Amino acid sequence: MRVYDDRFARDQRKHELAVRLLRLEARNHTVQRYTGLREARVRSLWKAYCEGENESPGPRLRGPSPYRVDIILQPAGMKAEAAALVGICQALGIVQKAERSRSSSALDLTIGEHLCDAYELYRETVTSPRISLEQLLCLLAAVRQGEELAVERCRHCEAFILIDPFGLAARACAACAADGSVQAPHTRVAESADASDEAQPAQASDSPLSGIQQTLF
């Protein structure tokens, strides 16, 4: 009896998660990926629970999911908004759990549920949210890969920021960088090197061979 109850509870979680994802405008293949349901079942859930609702998410999104991080972050102010959303996901452990589960064919239901929690909180907090759930998944994938994006904290106000993991830009949010007190690491290193050179007295060389490379032996 316990085995039957566990299976029933898991199937119920799958269907509830599928409906949540559909209402958040997730594509069919995204719903299948997180729930393990077949496409026909996803379509029937859409018709039964989403289509024709007063707060219907609108026409179904078709085609491949977004995959260009630079296009997503291109609009003004989008990087700060994306950093806040990705920061919520990291605080809920979504990035870490997805890293452990990406070897399996179907992601854990818990990750999908936490993903919906994070995105619903984002939509309730931001007045005019511009990032879709599919775009969030693209950003999270880039953070997991660690080649295009990384999540860090601003060194001044501890806000979440998105950075280039191989870049030399200052680890600061837009608000702290706007006051002009934040300098990029390579700028500080260059200024320190210049100051060190100025502190050392210039030594004049009277040797007639100065400026000529001497023998090593």
List the pLDDT tens digit at each of the 217 positions of the chain: 555 577 888 899 999 999 999 999 999 999 999 999 999 999 999 999 888 765 555 667 778 899 999 999 999 889 999 999 999 998 888 887 766 655 454 567 889 999 999 999 999 999 899 999 999 999 999 999 888 999 898 888 888 899 888 887 778 888 888 876 555 554 444 444 454 455 455 444 454 444 443 433 3
Domain residues for the domain of 17 are 1-61
Q: Within this chain, do residues 21 and 114 fall inside the same structural domain, yes or no?
A: no
Q: Tell me, yes or no, whether 128 and 29 share the same domain.
A: no
Indicate the residue among 61, 77, 104 that finishes a domain: 61
> CA 122, CA 86: separation in Å to the nearest integer?
10
Is the distance from CB of 176 to CB of 157 less than 8 angstroms?
A: yes
| 114 & 57 share domain | no
pLDDT for position 18? 95
Distance CA 217, CA 86 (A): 60
Do 36 and 97 belong to one domain? no
Report the run of H or E that residue 150 belongs to, with start and end: strand 150-153
The total of structural domains in the chain comes to 2
Whether 71 and 173 share a structural domain:
yes
For residue 131, what pLDDT is reported?
96
pLDDT at residue 68, rounded to an integer: 93
CA–CA dist 173, 178 (Å, integer): 9
The C-alpha R_g of the chain, in whole angstroms, comes to 26
- Does 94 share its domain with 151? yes
Among 10, 26, 61, the domain-final residue is 61
**Residues whose CB falls within 8 Å of the CB of residue 181, separated by 6 or more in sequence, listed in order:** none
Q: Residue 195 has which token pair? A: 């100051």
171 belongs to a structural domain = yes
> Residue 6, SS3?
helix
pLDDT at 14: 94
Q: Are 54 and 74 in contact, with CB atoms under 8 Å apart?
A: no
Q: Are residues 81 and 40 in the same domain?
A: no
Task: Return the ∠ at Cα 64 (arms to 60 and 65), rounded to 5°.
Answer: 80
What was the pLDDT predicted at 4? Answer: 59
Q: Is residue 163 one of the residues assigned to a domain?
A: yes
Q: Is residue 187 part of a domain?
A: no
Identify the residue whose tokens are 């690491």.
185
In a domain, 217, yes or no: no
